[in-house]
Amino acid sequence: MSTGAAHILKGVNSGQVRSGLIIVDKPQGWTSHDVVGRLRRLAGTRKVGHAGTLDPMATGVLVVGINKATRLLTYIVGTSKTYEATIRLGQSTITDDAEGEITAETIAAAVTDEEIRDAVAALTGDILQVPSSVSAIKVAGERSYARVRAGGEVNLPARPVTVSRFEIHGIRREHGGKLRDVDVTVQCSSGTYIRALARDLGAALGVGGHLTALRRTSVGPYSEDQASTLEQLAEDLRLLDLNDAARALFPVRELSEEEAADLSHGRRIAASGMPPQDGEPVPVAAFAPDGELIGLLADKADTAKALLVFAPGNERS
């Protein structure tokens, strides 16, 4: 092990491995799996996972969990996301982004700014979206993208998604005016494909479209302001402590000593009183009087049951 690597791991693997989130600024060309592999080496633990895949072409916020914090990733995956993107009108590709070969070209010179804005407005709000065929969705046990790249056909069903913000920042003419590039910000629910928005915008305007640039700027409460590049993390493995990560993600309940003891042993405690959301109980982060995260709770009638309990002491649990 090099001197630099020893410095990186010092304090992380000395006796106990810390738990928490790392907010990574993913570089272009890396898969999310590549990033997880790098962080496993930097943190010196196999217990590393990410919350929500970013395509290799995309950059920006990738939330990575270390040790105990991997148990929070399921909840982070379901949060809303924000993206900065550029959509090119006048060209369609097999992947709905710039990584795929062009399948159709149409001169988009006649498309007006007003028409673009109207089409964007129609794709805002609660919509039904057909995911990009080159996606990780499984079809008969096979990834959709694998089937498409092998020459097969995929017909994915539309699914409900919410695009709460679809804002245009600029519209430019490219390639002698034949193409139009649209710079946008998109805030959306989990499961929304920005590539599919680009495809559908082009289809609505009759000229085809695809994504040429994509950057994720936030995942739930975690933003690019908190993110570090892989180069920065190699020098300083900045970890968002498990307690701080949970406080940012969930409503908080401060427990008494008795409640903390009961919860730690799997016993139910009094309900938190958190109103349900969309008919489902809302997870609440429960903290002991000393500020340590005990677990996640959800109300059921007049009691709160544990969804997760974090075992004290052993950081690898």
Residues belonging to the active site:
55
One-character DSSP codes across 167-189: EEEEEEEETTTTEEEEEEEEEE-
Q: How far apart are CA 212 and CA 177, in angstroms?
A: 17
Coil vs helix vs strand at 197: helix
User: Which is nearest to 190 in space by CA: 227, 223, 222, 162?
Assistant: 162
Q: How far apart are CA 317 and CA 307, in angstroms?
A: 15
Q: How far apart are CA 26 and CA 5, in angstroms?
A: 21
Task: Give the DSSP H or E segment for 242.
Answer: helix 242-249
Q: How far apart are CA 107 and CA 120, in angstroms?
A: 19
Task: Give the DSSP H or E segment for 116.
Answer: helix 113-122
Helix axes 194-204 and 113-122, enclosed angle (nearest 10): 130
Copy the structure tokens of residue 15: 């006796």
